[in-house]
Structure 1
Amino acid sequence: MPDADLKPIQAALQQYWGYSELRSPQAEVMRALLQRRDALVVLPTGAGKSLCFQLPAVLQGGLTLVVSPLLALMENQITELRQRGLAAAAYHSELPSSQRRQILSQLRDYRLLYVSPESLFSNPLWQSLCSAQVQLNGLIVDEAHCLVQWGDRFRPAYRRLGTVRPALRQCKPQQSPLAIAAFTATADPHAQRTLIEVLGLEQPVQIIHSPYRANLHLAVRSVWSRGYRRHCLQQFLKQQGRTCGLIYARTRHDCETIATWLQEQGHRTSPYHGGLPAAQRRQIERDWLQDKLPFVVCTNAFGMGVNKPDVRWICHYQPPLQLSEYLQEVGRAGRDGEAAQALVLVSDRWGLDREDQQRWSFFQHQSQDTYNRAMALQTQLPLQGNLQQLRQHFPEVELTLALLHQQGALRWQDPFHYCRQPLAQVPPPPKDPQEQLMQKFLYHRGCRWQFLLQAFGFATEARGFHCGHCDRCRPPHRSRKIP
């Protein structure tokens, strides 16, 4: 970027963030957004992705929309922005109706508005965004991997994001073009293609960097019984001392059970999952960020995008289902560049504890049942329809429409209307390659980071790569330092 172009960026960087220099490739990303170009940005965790879209939003007039998957992530970023004196807000269903109305009345005063995909398509907000008085500069999809991971099963509103720009162009043809940018730390080549296609990115600038983190030490340990799994966790926690970390479990019940057991062992911790009241979740997040809780036992609902640099360790009490999910979660450690440990406990293939295999099988059957129910519903749906009207008769219709969209059998005409083709026969549920890769990773005998580089599309970098610090690369006499 020419020096003249950097001056306003550096001035805002110093004024609002107190930094004197950008990291590579932040300047390149910011230039694309300031030129109102579409972008696909894949940078490792801790690379400063949020700054890449927050700073251009400050420099531009008008409003930048940020689609974010979790309320905790929104509130964390809003708090930081307001502390810097920047005009930002989050619009979501947990706000009192009076506060939501106030935000809508002040849209022209904000530079950044954080929304979930579901909130974006709520009628009050959508009507306000379509108003000619609201100048929109950009649509940022933060943690964009969620579109790929959740868009066809749990968060079907993600599959409608590609309709935003065409719909706004139609209702506000006189305004400048709306740029769309997707940001994530984990997107393999298939996920990258999906994001470009679903979001309708037009000749996007693609800034794709390796996920490798030299300070992040990966390890997997086989356990052959439930008792031994707990023993390994105790030993790992003892080695970490009083440093900050996170324990990931796969279900709400597991979070509660493990946290209770650890509390009985004298640990100061708390369970965290989506079933807790919102106020309780916010309090746990604050206690962890302020070091009142050394660690939290949580589901994947915790930690996404949370800016806590001094997380020294991550333990997966049970392995995640997807490799991208694993990389996201371990990436929450060591954001300050200092050494961090990441351990996964997994059932030994020949041991007494078949818990992980049973869990994988359960989730696969559950996913297939969900798919079968959703696809059975498609025979009752018109070939052209209004989503808002259909919801009154079929509460789960959006999931069916998202699956049809994924299969290329449906096109969204705008955020609320679709047209589709009849299916001669229902195709089998698509297999998730990330789930297969996760299981291969757990039992892989070579370098952990080499496997991740290969899996996420960095074949050249992976060739002959050995990180030297994962459990497979360390010499035998050092391997005992981390279980």
Structure 2
Amino acid sequence: MSTPLDTLQRYWGYGQFRSPQSQIINAILAGRDVLAVLPTGSGKSVCFQVPALMMGGTTVVISPLIALMQDQVDQLRERGISATFINSSLRPAACSHRLKLLAQGKYRLVYAAPEALANLRFKAALKLLAIPLVAVDEAHCISEWGHDFRPSYRLIDNFVEWLGRRPVVAAFTATATLRTRLDIVDSLRLKNHRMATVPGGRTNLHLNVWDCPDDHWQVLSLVRLLQRHGHQPGIVYTTTRAAAEWLHALLEQWHFALPAGITWDVYHGGLGPVERRRVQRAFLEGELKLMVATNAFGMGVDKPDIRWIIHYQLPLNLEGYYQEAGRAGRDGRQSWCYLLFNPADIQVCRYLALGGSNSQQLVHQRQLSGRRQLASQGQLADRGQLVDRRQSERSLRMRLAVKEAQLQAMVRYTTTKNCRHRFLGKYFGHQSDEAKPGHQHTQYTGRDHCSQCGCCRPLNLPHRQWRYRLDRLLNWRTVNAARLSVAPDSLATDRVLAAAAILRPTSRDEWLKVPGIGTGWALRNWAKRGQVHRNQVHRSKAR
């Protein structure tokens, strides 16, 4: 009789499991429900794919992401495992063909969106099969306390009961607080379940937050980081599609300051399917070193050698931040994660988190909508309708409060002076707040000098000198603009000054290389500035 390790070696070619993969697989094979909270890149899919091959029948995998389904099904087929997916991307004829094969028991795994659980044809096909296991990916989506609540996930519990003979239920997520975990267990009605987590998180990630008081500081910080890491694969995350497009265009303007040979592209949900696949394939195959993207990019992207992640804007919550940061260093090697914190981003995040409005406006709009609907029906609300409406409003208020609390936790993470790994461990419940006996903790040592965050071990990058140089250049421009009675931008734009702060020209020839410096009067005066700038550079090095 084959063992889980035999199955792993046969289909994946690995000689051993990662911790705690073997414990999760053994629990599933023993008929126990499971809730696994594992960091991105820890091999969650293997935890249900191996049991699926050993238990017989057809395993149902619930996943919210179409791209992730397709990627995992393609990988399974390459390993000789029969699998398919059912979602809204399929044409009717293709969907009917797959449902027919499914009813005949031709697939070992079927991936489905949660909305498919209400599809009668899909359910009719499953009714003819033995379903030993239901795996729920991105299980935090079922919880209103989670960062990505999706009402369709509430269909899973009824679906499991509808199957008749109850299968094993295994729920997986990369990010879930203790409250979210308890909500998942309750919503899925997990029985005799095993809770599996990875204490300590991703210790190969060096977590950094750079304070950026304004947009110029963010741009300079990004360029400096790309100068340091741009020769290796990485992702720059933005909060919005517009910011991703803008940043993609900005890099074109700053190409002179980036490492030679660096290539990049943009990825977000607004791109067409063909373009998304093209860009993703180019990044996976190494044609692109840098991807500028929203959080639409990364799910299911199997690229273990991503060496760095930069969050150009503040994420909406720690759950999303940790999941995106975890896409670096999946091969276990040292990797770097940076968050460029501009306080102005807080209001942008609050606006996005609350759906483009504030909480009171959203609740008021929901109330007005309900009243208009009842009035259009020409009837008064009975007691049951009023109770349902009030429950809906309370649920909305709760979700808005959760989003605000998550944003505040994100802000506290950016401003903490203690260990960032320990902060995340406390937030996600991976470790207690108590210091280990015999160890002394200062405000900078949080987790016994973890050496893997900017608080415990700051990186030796002279980013403060850029601001000092830029301030000197801005002051020089202001003084001369006042002396000549001209607008400051007529002497040099902010982008020119930022470029000079990075390139540090000290001669006429070097000033000629600064984009936008111009010729004639401007160049002569900026060349004179070279001696002052040279002295200023020496002083900044001594600071």
Q: Structure 1's 424 and 69: CA in aligned 2 closer, same or farther, altered over 3 A?
A: closer
Matched, 1:445 2:417: yes
User: Cα distance, 1:325 vs. partner?
Assistant: 0.8
Shift of 1:216: 0.2
Query: Equivalents in 1 of 2:153, 2:75: separation in Å?
Result: 26
**Deviation for aligned residue 1:458:** 3.1
**Structure 2 counterpart of 1:360:** 350
2:427 is matched by which residue type in structure 1?
A: A
Partner deviation per Cα, 1:391-434 (whole Å, 9 max, x = no partner): xx9xxxxxxxxxxxxxxxx9xxxxxxx9x856389437121232
**Compared with structure 1, are the counterparts of its residues 378 and 181 closer, same or farther at alpha carbon in structure 2 (3 Å cutoff)?**
farther
Residue matched to 1:233? 222
Structure 1 residues 96-115: aligned runs within 5 Å: 96-107=91-102, 108-115=105-112
Q: How far 1:457 moved relative to its partner?
A: 1.3
Q: Which residue of 2 aligns with 1:456?
A: 428
Please, which of 8, 11, 24 is the counterpart of residue 13 of structure 1? 8
Q: Which residue of 2 aligns with 1:122?
A: 119
CA drift of 1:322 comes to: 0.7
Aligned counterpart in structure 2 of residue 254 of structure 1, from 243, 247, 270? 243
Mapped pair 1:274 → 2:269: yes
Q: Give 1:205 deviation, angstroms.
A: 1.2
- Shift in Å at residue 136 of structure 1? 1.2
| 1:386 aligned residue | none
Q: Secondary structure of 1:160's partner?
A: helix
Unaligned 5+ runs, structure 2 = 256-261, 378-383, 436-440, 442-446, 465-543
Which structure has the highest helix share of the two? 2
The alpha carbon displacement at 1:160 in A equals 2.3
Structure 1 position 372, deviation (Å): 4.8
Give, in angstroms, the shift of residue 360 of structure 1.
2.4
Give the Cα separation in 1 of the matches to 2:156 and 2:191.
14
Residue by residue over 1:219-244, the C-alpha shift from the partner in whole angstroms, topping out at 9 and shown as x without a partner, is 00111221221111111111003211
- Matched AA of 2:407: E
Higher strand proportion, which one? Answer: 1
Q: Quickly say closer, same or farther: Cα 1:258–1:157, change in 2 above 3 A.
A: same
8 A contact 1:147–1:158 mirrored in 2: yes
Which residues of 2 match residues 58-69 of structure 1 at below 5 A?
58-69=53-64
Cα separation, 2, equivalents of 1:472 and 1:179: 43
Q: Greater Rg, structure 1 or structure 2?
A: 2
Q: How many residue pairs are counted as aligned between the two chains?
A: 430
Question: 1:189, CA displacement in angstroms?
Answer: 0.4
Moved more, 119-128 or 285-294: 119-128
- The 5-angstrom pairing of residues 64-463 of structure 1 reads 64-107=59-102, 108-129=105-126, 131=127, 133-148=128-143, 155-169=150-164, 176-266=165-255, 267-347=262-342, 349=343, 354-361=344-351, 363-364=353-354, 366=357, 368=359, 369-370=361-362, 372-374=364-366, 423=390, 426-427=393-394, 429-430=397-398, 431-432=401-402, 433-460=405-432, 463=435
The equivalent residue for 1:469 is 452
- Specify whether residues 97 and 456 from structure 1 end up closer, same or farther in structure 2 by C-alpha distance, changes over 3 A only: same
**CA separation in 2, counterparts of 1:56 and 1:297?**
37
CA RMSD for the aligned pairs? Answer: 2.8
% of aligned pairs identical?
35
Q: Write the letter of the residue equivalent to 2:397.
A: P
| Aligned-residue offset at 1:123 | 3.6
After TM superposition, give the deviation of residue 440 of structure 1 in Å.
0.6
The answer to whether the 8 Å contact 2:21/2:47 transfers is: yes
Change (3 A) 1:372 1:104: farther
Residues in 1 aligned to 2:48 and 2:198: alpha-carbon distance in whole angstroms:
17
Could you say what secondary structure the match of 1:429 adopts?
helix
- Bigger relative CO (Cα 8 Å, ≥ 6 apart): 1
Q: Which moved more, 1:177-186 or 1:152-161?
A: 152-161
Structure 1 residue 374 displacement after superposition? 4.6
Q: CA deviation at 1:8?
A: 2.1
- In structure 2, relative to structure 1, the CA distance for the partners of 1:363 and 1:185 (3 Å cut) is closer
CA offsets, 1:440-472, max 9 Å, x none?
Answer: 101111111111111111343763524122110
SS in structure 1 at match of 2:183: helix
Contact in 2 for aligned 1:186/1:211 (Cα 8 Å): no
Note the alpha carbon deviations across 1:16-47, whole angstroms, 9 max, x for none.
11112112221111112112321101122222
Give SS of 1:36's match: coil
CA distance in 2 between counterparts of 1:55 and 1:422 reads: 45
Q: Does the 8 Å contact 1:32/1:38 carry over to 2? A: yes
SS of equivalent residue, structure 2 residue 56 = coil
SS at match of 1:136: coil
Inter-CA distance 216–151: structure 2 relative to 1 (3 Å threshold): closer
